Amino acid sequence: MMRNMPAREAGGRRKRIVIRVILGLIGILLIYTIFVGSTIWNYAQRTVNIPSDAAIVLGAAVWEGKPSPVFQARIDHALWLYDRQYVDKLIFTGGRSSEDELAESEVARQYAMEHGVPESDILVETASTITEQNLHYANEIGDAARLSSYLIVSDPLHMKRAMMMAEDMGLEANPSPASRSAYQSLRSKVPFLIREVFYYIGYQLVAPFR
């Protein structure tokens, strides 16, 4: 019985070490998650409205052929930039779901034209379904049109991740978050922030392997 005591004690020590390591890793992950969340939250306040060739409007849902409140707020902000001559062109992004007749970008183009923007000043891509694709295809369209500088338009809490992606793509871009975002209350912002933290960390983990 006494001979088994050292082995039991050694096993107990190893178990305690493993538990401490696991708790330490959980603590580090928690601290990093809080740090990312605060970074995203603080970045949401950043607006750099400088004259640029075009505004890239990141896609969002459409409802029965009309922009959803989230998408409309983004489009309205882009129209504000256009009307005040911060940008010469508007690039709308977003593909078509199986339930819609028009792509998100096509709905946005229609909305912008109804509000006085000439069709010649609107560019659209209809293939994207996620933020990274929004920016990738917008970049291709911009290159083809010989555009080189952009203002990225989306909801404030989306801007940190969008700008990180734009930078990775080599886009010369600045953030211009929608001033009248549909996400105004704390109750709507918190789930958005949680989702953005998850996607932001996920992108950081995957990006080095691309």
**Residue range 106-149, pLDDT digits in tens:** 999 999 999 999 999 999 999 999 999 999 999 999 999 999 99
Residue 200 lies in a domain: yes
Is 159 contained in some domain?
Answer: yes
pLDDT at 3 over 60: no
The answer to whether position 148 is within a domain reads: yes
Cβ(148)–Cβ(172) under 8 Å? yes
Q: How many residues does the chain have?
A: 210
Distance CA 162, CA 172 (A): 13
Q: Is residue 179 part of a domain?
A: yes
Q: Is the pLDDT of residue 5 over 70?
A: no
- In the prediction, which pLDDT does 93 show? 97
Please, which pLDDT band fits residue 209 given cuts at 50, 70 and 90?
confident
pLDDT at residue number 152: 98
Nearest to 77 by CA among 128, 152, 138, 139: 152
Domain that residue 182 falls in: 52-209
Identify residue 29 by its one-letter amino acid code: L
* Helices of type H across the chain: 4-43, 69-83, 104-114, 131-144, 159-168, 186-206
In a domain, 31, yes or no: no
In CATH, what number is assigned to the domain containing residue 155? 3.40.50.620
pLDDT tier for residue 98 given thresholds of 50, 70 and 90: confident
At residue 11, the pLDDT reads 63
Residue 42: inside a domain? no
Residue 96 binned pLDDT confidence (cut-offs 50, 70, 90): confident
Query: CA 168, 90, 128, 185 torsion: positive or negative?
Result: positive
User: Has residue 25 been placed in a domain?
Assistant: no
- How many domains does one find in the chain? 1
Tell me the per-residue pLDDT of 135-184, one tens digit each, with 9 for 90 and over.
Answer: 999 999 999 999 999 999 999 999 999 999 999 999 999 999 998 898 88
pLDDT tens readout for residues 42-85: 999 899 999 999 999 999 999 989 999 999 999 999 999 999 99
Instruction: Give burial (CB, 10 Å; 0-12/13-18/19+) of 61.
Output: middle
Confidence of residue 4 (pLDDT cuts 50, 70, 90): low
For the stretch 8-45, pLDDT in tens is: 666 667 777 878 888 888 888 899 999 999 999 999 98
Q: How many CB atoms lie within 10 A of CB 80?
A: 17
Q: Which two tokens stand for residue 160?
A: 């940190």
Give this prediction's pTM. Answer: 0.86
